[in-house]
Amino acid sequence: MLRYKMRGTTALICLAALATPAAAQEDSLGTLFLTFGKRDIQTGTGTASTVVDRSEIEDRQANTVAQLIDSVPGVTLVNGTTPQGSGINIRGFGANTTFGTDQKIAILIDDATVGSEEIYRIGTQLFTDPFLYRRVEVLRGTIGSFEYGSGIVGGVVKMETKDASDFTKGVTGFKVGQTIQGSSNGSGVVSSSTLAWQPSERAEFLANYTYRTQKDLKDGSDAVIGNSAFTTPSGLIKAKLTFGDADEHTATFSYTRTLADDKDVPYDTFNTTGGAFGNVDRVTDTSQAAFQYRYNPSDLDTVDLSATLSYADQKIDYSYVPGSSFLEGTPSFGFLQNTVNANQRYQTTKLTLKNVAKFETGALSHELRAGVELIRKERADNPTAAPGGTDNRQAIFLIDKISSGGFTFTPALRFERSKVTSAGNFGTFENSALMGGAALAYKWESGFSVFASASYTEGLPIIDDLGSTPAAISKMNTSEKSTTYEVGASYGGSDVFTAGDNFSIKGNFYKTTLSDITSYTAPRSVTALLDKVETQGFELETSYGLSSGLYFDLNGHFGTGTEVYADGTSDTWRNTAASTVGLTVGKKWNDMLDLSWEVARSSKNRDSSGAALADFTVHNLRATYKPQAGVLEGTEVRFGIENALNLDYTSHLSSATRKAPGRSVSLTISALF
């Protein structure tokens, strides 16, 4: 691994030696280098961040939000083909072989924290529709997470809903958007209708209704993939008002909701058949609401104040379908029946007060982000299936971006206190933790930069860990600890190899150690306790484009993971992210036509039981046509072929019986009136 690290770093430095000044867009995290390719690259920062913008969201023609980010380095999808079972794994943490989430990834929709707790695989980290969103950002690792929560080891997924101005382009009046999409595999159909109204430059309102449905998919051998059909109506309402003498006040409200009513489907949303648990009738109803007030006076750099009140509600109502489990008639059936005849509900209310202050202290420039959070989580009580209760938390965070010359030093602190109270008789438990980290980056005028970071976080006990056994009580008094170290380099520049081209690259190594583990146990074949989990890897993002419109995007992740037991023995970490390489070759003709070919290679694959899977290479073709004049102006046509060679394969961390979808041809037509 050390040899590979040295080679990777040398390659980055050699490429950077060709550096010339780059055209880029500054933001609070670093420099967003604007590429000719599909995806802009975040350079000049110590945070591993990837942004999927609206253009890429639409070009990917995804059926789930999870599928929007499956090409991000270090991201693995666990059954990403259905909204109910879309699990996201980042750097080996998140959705896994047991739970839909392990609380080590944070999901935010317009700053509302969403998702369920560790209840087997009927709950998902996010359940929504990709047509509702204009931007998805993935922050990998811990160093960029202290503003968003505690115990975040894998990373943060931040989603922003669409604005009315995305359709009106800031011009007053009405706009109506209509999108129709069809896909061959599963006979998928999508209709998305949007009404955008901007009565003035200071007010905008949006309403969207999206209806998405598909039948069971087929794999590359033309066999039906069980439990892959779904129907999900979704909606979005959003309003934004700007007021004040200098437009210093902004108020924004958004509300999203997605619903699914499934009959006679497997209890385990990740599996293809009911198995021992059998089938259920299940209604999944997820909604999020967020209201934000922002005060940002143009003549006062020390004040950029925001107050965000958000509420997320996920209800999963399900009942057992008689005759669907082979355990009926056995002594175990009574327990199973109580488990699959329970209803789950997770409600999270969060108030965040935050200020961003910019000021100078001698030769140092500061951008200080300081905030207070009040969080209340409520979980319905199902004594025979899962414990209920409340989790009240208070947190403060401080993140100071300190710049001087080419140096940027960013220390971060978060203190969080929790009080978990059982809805039954399991008691009350209080815990607290101080966590933080620091990132150091140096950027040359040439566009080349190097960075390093170290971070520490703790995952405080959750409602799901409540119980009366000594093991449960021990869990409620223990927080998981994690440390992560990263080092890397990036570069963004233009006129690098030939006049009019642009080139950007970012690579980083990470090493994470998780200890005092409460969310995983050792396999039954191991008598010792699970002591720690160690993961390490290398992530790469690069893009090269020519003035002719030809572009090349390359990304990859190469990682390993080890779970170590108390007796000194070890094994491969069961949730280790796969090693992946993705290459996109495309050509753009101004804003009118974009043709691309994507090749994705995955190796070191394992199924959910730990058995080795074959390496695979998938080819995807995409075309986007946007007429710039005439009667078709304002119309967009997208054509895609996913798994173009109809490869028969099983994705990493999936159930051995759940193969990946075979070839699917998609056509999307959008019009703006």
**What residue segments make up the domains of the chain, in order of their start?**
2-672
Look-up: residue for tokens 């992740």?
A: 557
CA distance linking residue 469 with residue 272, whole number of Å: 33
Find the helix or strand (DSSP H, E) in which 256 lies: strand 249-266
> In terms of DSSP H, where are the helices of 350-468?
none
Question: Six-digit token pair at 655?
Answer: 């159930």
pLDDT band at 26 (very low <50, low <70, confident <90, very high): very low
pLDDT of residue 6: 37
Using alpha carbons, list the distances in angstroms from residue 209 to 68, 165, 295, 311.
20, 17, 31, 21
Fold of 2-672: Maltoporin; Chain A (2.40.170)
Reported as a pLDDT band with limits 50, 70 and 90, residue 527 is confident
Does residue 109 contact residue 178 with C-beta atoms inside 8 Å?
no
Across the chain, mean pLDDT equals: 91
Among 246, 245, 369, 357, smallest CA distance to 303 is for 357
- At 55, is the secondary structure helix, strand, or coil? helix
pLDDT over 70 (residue 511)? yes
Tokens of 90: 């980042």
Sheet holding 31-33, edge to edge: 24-26, 31-33, 41-43, 48-53, 133-140, 155-161, 105-109, 112-114
Side chain identity at 547, as an amino acid letter? S
Are 391 and 377 in contact, with CB atoms under 8 Å apart? yes
126 has pLDDT over 90: no
Report the C-alpha gap between 653 and 102 in whole angstroms.
15
Phi/psi at 633 (5° precision): -60, 135
Q: If DSSP codes are grouped into helix, strand and coil, which group holds residue 279?
A: strand
What is the signed CA dihedral for 292, 297, 301, 302, rounded to 10 degrees? -60
Instruction: Please write the tens of the pLDDT for every residue from 291-340.
Output: 999 999 999 999 999 999 999 999 988 899 999 999 998 988 887 888 88
Query: Taking a C-beta distance cutoff of 8 angstroms, is the pair 367, 360 a contact?
Result: no
Rounded Cα gap, residues 475 and 578, in angstroms: 30
237 CB-side CA count, 13 A: 8
Per-residue pLDDT reduced to its tens digit, 300-311:
999 999 999 999
645-655 b/e (C-beta count within 10 Å ≥ 16 → b): ebbbbbbbbbb
Of the chain, the end-to-end C-alpha distance in Å amounts to: 55
Range name among 120-129, 391-400, 612-621 with the lowest pLDDT average = 120-129
Burial class, 227, CB count within 10 angstroms (exposed 0-12 / middle 13-18 / buried 19+): buried
Q: Is the pLDDT of residue 11 over 80?
A: no
Q: What is residue 120's predicted lDDT score, i.e. its pLDDT?
A: 66
User: Please, which pLDDT band fits residue 609 given cuts at 50, 70 and 90?
Assistant: confident
Identify the three-state secondary structure at position 167.
helix
- CA separation (Å) from 625 to 393, 405, 406, 550, 637? 49, 44, 42, 16, 5
Q: Taking residues 27-33, report their average pLDDT.
A: 55
pLDDT of residue 225: 94
pLDDT at 124: 64
The answer to whether residue 573 scores a pLDDT higher than 70 is yes
pLDDT value of residue 333: 87
What is the share, in percent, of the chain residues with pLDDT greater than 90?
Answer: 75
Rounded distance between C-alpha atoms, residue 397 and residue 415, angstroms = 7
**Residues near 632 by beta carbon (within 8 Å), at least 6 away in sequence:** none
Which secondary structure element, helix H or strand E, spans residue 4, and what is its range? helix 2-16
Quick one: pLDDT band at residue 524, thresholds 50, 70, 90? confident
Residue type for 265, please? V
% of the chain at pLDDT higher than 70 = 94
Higher pLDDT, 345 or 434: 434
Residue bearing the bigger pLDDT, 119 or 197: 197
Whether the pLDDT of residue 20 is over 90: the answer is no
Euclidean distance between CA atoms 391 and 393, whole angstroms: 6
**For 181-185, 404-408, 519-523, 533-537, which range has the lowest pLDDT when averaged over its residues?**
519-523
Say if residues 466 and 387 touch (Cβ distance below 8 Å): yes
Does the pLDDT of residue 255 top 80, yes or no? yes
- Rounded to whole angstroms, the Cα distance separating 501 from 478 reads 54
Tell the burial category of 232 from Cβ atoms under 10 Å away from its Cβ (0-12, 13-18, 19+). Answer: buried
Q: Does position 642 have pLDDT exceeding 90, yes or no?
A: yes
On the question of pLDDT at 30 being above 80, the answer is no
CA atoms within 13 A on the CB side of 606: 17
Neighbours of 3 (CB within 10 A): 7
Residue 38: pLDDT band with limits 50, 70, 90: confident
- What pLDDT score was predicted for residue 31? 63
Q: Rounded to whole angstroms, how far apart are CA atoms 618 and 346?
A: 37
CB distance 418 to 393 below 8 Å: yes
The dihedral of CA 265, 271, 273, 278: what is its sign? Answer: negative
The answer to whether 478 and 514 have CB atoms below 8 angstroms apart is no
